Amino acid sequence: MRFSLISPTFDRPEEVQEFIISVSKLNYSQDLFEVILADGTPGDTLRPIIDRESKKCKLSIKVIHEEYLPVSEARNAAAEIAHGEYLIFFDSDCIIPIDYLNEIDSGLADSSWEAFGGPDAAPPEFSALQKAISFSMTSFWTTGGIRGGKIATSKYYPRGFNMGVKKDIFIKMKGFDTKFKTGEDVELSIRLVEAKYKVGLIPKAFVFHKRRSTLFSFFKQVRRFGGARWHLSRKHEGQLKLTHIFPVFIISFLIISFLFGLNNSVYPLFVGVFYFLFPFVLSGIKSRSLVVGIFSISTTFVMMLGYAFGFLEALFGRGAHKRRG
């Protein structure tokens, strides 16, 4: 068995169906990979849908079920029963391109990675808001390329939506740290890098990531990311870079400027217009859509605001981004 494809699931049947369909279409021998879903849906109500779709697609799927199974525990449980040389973790809202595993093979042949990741992207059929959210989360202008953009940071840390690691190394590293509610994927990647394993990016091994479909749900998601970053920096020295705290700086500057009467100055307005104009231009050009460009202004602001809020919330000892234990 070459690969074990693993995804935690929790309800969201439409997304799970799309994930299964995309995996069934992979241009790769099904004798060389397996699919494991670790599900926390109450009442096991997702299983009939998984069974029906897997039979329809002629794809064998192993299912682990435990009500309200958290993400880290789900991934660890799936890894325990996996037979693949490499474990590859996805989010259930990912759609896997047909040549994905071939790109993984090519990347491993070129660099012999022991752990790896790939970017995420938005296909043409995604809504304008989904494309805008994708831009805000992946653009070098908004995130510094830390999620696998074309311009990468000095060290690359794979994310759980598209992350692979040799099974024997995963077991040796004791898997995902279940004390982390969010950011457990980056935490594992940090430990892999610190342990001197060969960790890298396979740029062509991208997935289509549907993400959140509303600005409010997107805000809640990035709020958790902000909180997770503070807890990561507390556990791992040197894991707080300018890129990570930039949203706090820009949001704090804009809010303080207006609250304390500095709005009479042109500087806050200039900073706001300058920074948020770029997502409009860059996203609009990339997608060839004025609507996506306009949405990218709001998604970038929501991303910055949510991340900054979550970071400061964790900094001052609030929130629930890290489990105690």
CA 13, CA 17: separation in Å to the nearest integer?
6
pLDDT band at 308 (very low <50, low <70, confident <90, very high): very high
Tokens of 80: 């325990």
Cα–Cα distance, 141 to 150 (Å, whole number): 12
Considering the chain, what is the average pLDDT of its residues?
A: 88
Structurally, at CATH architecture level, domain 3-127+137-213 sits in: Alpha-Beta Complex (3.90)
Q: Where are the domains of the chain?
A: 3-127+137-213, 223-315
Residue 324 clears pLDDT 60, i.e. is over it: no
Q: Where are the alpha helices (DSSP H) in 236-289?
A: 242-259, 267-287
Residue 125, pLDDT score: 83
* Encoded tokens for 278: 């770029």
Q: What is the pLDDT of residue 153?
A: 41
Q: Cα-flanking dihedrals φ and ψ of residue 201, to 5°?
A: -100, 135
State residue 144's pLDDT score. Answer: 66
In this structure, the dihedral spanned by the alpha carbons of residues 140, 144, 147 and 148, taken in order and rounded to 10 degrees, is: 60
- Residue 83 has a CB neighbour count (10 Å cut-off) of 13
What pLDDT is recorded for position 256? 76
* Beta strands in the chain, from DSSP E residues, in sequence order: 3-9, 33-39, 61-65, 86-90, 94-95, 115-117, 120-121, 162-166, 199-201, 207-209
Section 152-162 average pLDDT: 78
Which pLDDT band holds residue 294 (cuts at 50, 70, 90)? very high
**pLDDT value of residue 122:** 84
Which position has the higher pLDDT, 320 or 204? Answer: 204
- Which pLDDT does position 249 carry in this prediction? 86
Residue 256: count other Cβ atoms within 10 Å of its Cβ.
11
Q: Any idea what the Cα angle at residue 156 is, between residues 152 and 160, rounded to 5°?
A: 115
Of the candidates 87, 126, 101, the one whose C-alpha atom is nearest the C-alpha of residue 25 is 101
CB 221 within 8 A of CB 91: no
Residue 147 pLDDT: 55
Q: Hey, how many other C-beta atoms are within 10 angstroms of the C-beta on 145?
A: 19
Give the pLDDT confidence of 243-282 residue by residue, as tens digits. 788 888 888 887 777 776 555 555 666 666 778 888 898 8
